[in-house]
Amino acid sequence: MKLQRMNRRALALGALAVSGALALTACGSDDTGTSSGGSSAAAKPGSIKCDDAKGQLLADGSSAQKNAIDAWVKQFTAACQGTQINYKGGGSGAGVTAFTQGQVAFAGSDSALKPDEVTASKKVCTGGQGINLPMVGGPIAVGYNVNGVDNLVLDAATLAKIFNNEITNWNDPQIQKLNPDAKLPDLKIQAFHRSDDSGTTDNFTKYLIDTAKKDWPYDGGKTWQAKGGQSASGSSGVAQQVKQTNGAIGYFELSYAKDGLKTVDLDTGAAQPVKATVENATKAISEAKVVGTGKDLALQLNYGTKAEGAYPMVLVTYEIVCDKGNKAETLPATKAFLRYIASEEGQKILAEADYAPIPADIISQVRTTVDGLS
Q: How confident is the model at residue 137 (pLDDT cuts 50, 70, 90)?
A: very high
User: For 290-317, what is the mean pLDDT?
Assistant: 95
Strand partners, 226: none
pLDDT digits (tens, 9 = 90+) for 220-273: 999 999 989 999 999 999 999 999 999 999 999 998 998 889 999 999 999 999
Strand partners, 322: 130
Residue 360, Cβ density class (10 Å: 0-12 exposed, 13-18 middle, ≥19 buried):
exposed
Three-class secondary structure assignment of 239-302: HHHHHHCCCEEEEEEHHHCCCCCEECEEECCCCCCECCCHHHHHHHHCCCEECCCCCCCCEECC
Q: Phi first, then psi: what are they for 10, rounded to 5°?
A: -65, -40
Strand partners, 107: 60, 320
pLDDT at position 101 over 80: yes
pTM of the model: 0.78
pLDDT digits (tens, 9 = 90+) for 182-229: 999 999 999 999 999 898 999 999 999 999 999 999 999 999 999 899
Q: How confident is the model at residue 41 (pLDDT cuts 50, 70, 90)?
A: low
Q: How confident is the model at residue 352 (pLDDT cuts 50, 70, 90)?
A: confident
- Please tell me the total number of residues recorded for the chain in this structure: 374
Among 20-24, 113-117, 176-180, 333-337, the range scoring the smallest mean pLDDT is: 20-24
Residue 142 DSSP class: E
User: For 345-366, what is the mean pLDDT?
Assistant: 92
pLDDT at position 317 over 90: yes
What Rg value do the Cα atoms of the chain yield, rounded? 23
User: For 154-179, what is the mean pLDDT?
Assistant: 98
Q: How far is it, in rounded angstroms, from Cα 251 to Cα 140?
A: 6
Query: What pLDDT is attached to residue 42?
Result: 57
Alpha helices by DSSP H, listed for the chain, are 2-27, 66-79, 92-100, 115-121, 156-163, 173-178, 199-211, 234-244, 278-285, 331-342, 344-352, 360-371
Q: Of the candidates 316, 338, 297, 343, which has an alpha carbon nearest to the alpha carbon of residue 106?
A: 338
* 310 to 194, 197, 201, 257: CA distances (angstroms): 25, 27, 20, 19
